[in-house]
Amino acid sequence: MSVADIAAHLRCPVCSEDVTAEPRRLVCVNGHSFDIAKQGHINLLNAGQPRNADSADMVAARLRWLETGAYTPILELVADMAGEGPGPLLDVGAGPGWYAGKLAARLHRPVIAADVSVPACRTAARLHPELGVVVADTWKGLPVRSGAIRTLVCIFAPRSPFEFTRVLEPGGQLVVVTPLPEHLARLRETAGLLGIDPDKDRRLADLAERGFTLVAEREHRATVTAEPARVADLIAMGPNAFHDHGDLTEAGDDLVPVEVAVKVTSWRRD
């Protein structure tokens, strides 16, 4: 996406006015200005990066794990549900852009990747120059124009139903990936990983009360095997990185079984 194309879908995080593209920056009518980084991403955080945002090490670990192919079936389910179309697709919590880049290539659609982590957005812009990459905080309000998005995907990321309703056009689509209880179950037991929120299903169902209608639901279950170093990456790429779970690389060369179990749901904005 060109800078002008990206700007056509964005708004100022300070005053909520539309932004326009100028050489090397975006500006709004009230004079708020946002530089375009040399890597190509745009920082639209109206504050510093949160302390729990992914670090550069977490981003690198995420890429190494995703490149194993263990989550490729999840990507395929999301792509099938999102489908091709002329409207823009927004990936919220996009991380280093692994899903967003592949969705853009498969669906032949313009894709905006948003994440609160500066290292993640820097990596996404470097690896996928075809994307529009924006540093943004879903909880504090997406810097996206109301009704500007045709499809929004949220893959293992925090959800803000109010913001999702606002940025999606009427009849627009929301695709959500959430873990099932057995996801990474063996690792949770042996490595003491953080548990899955027991209210996750209820909060997902709450979308029906926030202006969304459930259209489709599919599940994916598989047990994959991975080298201990890659399993260590799986642990290090998310919230578990902030806790000590031991050194899995000391387990030797034996492959480690990993349960992958997710639900993919598609919702229509009413």
Alpha helices in 131-181, H assignment, sequence order: 161-167
- State the residue for tokens 């999102």: 82
Question: 160 with 136: CB under 8 angstroms?
Answer: no
Copy the structure tokens of residue 46.
Answer: 């109206």
Q: Which of 265, 267, 13 is nearest to 135 (CA)?
A: 13
Please tell me whether 71 is known to bind a ligand: yes
End-to-end CA distance of the chain: 28
Please tell me whether 154 is known to bind a ligand: no
Q: Using the 8-state DSSP alphabet, how is residue 262 labeled?
A: E
Please tell me whether 183 is known to bind a ligand: yes
Q: Provide the residue count of the chain.
A: 270
Please tell me whether 12 is known to bind a ligand: yes
Taking the C-alpha atoms of residue 157 and residue 45, their distance in angstroms, rounded to an integer, is 18
Q: Which of 193, 190, 36 is nearest to 121 (CA)?
A: 36
Copy the structure tokens of residue 226.
Answer: 């991975």
Taking the C-alpha atoms of residue 221 and residue 235, their distance in angstroms, rounded to an integer, is 19
Looking at the DSSP bridge assignments, the partners of residue 35 are 25
- State the residue for tokens 């490595």: 191
Please tell me whether 99 is known to bind a ligand: no
Binding residues for Zn(2+): 12, 15, 28, 32
Binding residues: 12, 15, 28, 32, 71, 183
Binding residues for S-adenosyl-L-methionine: 71, 183
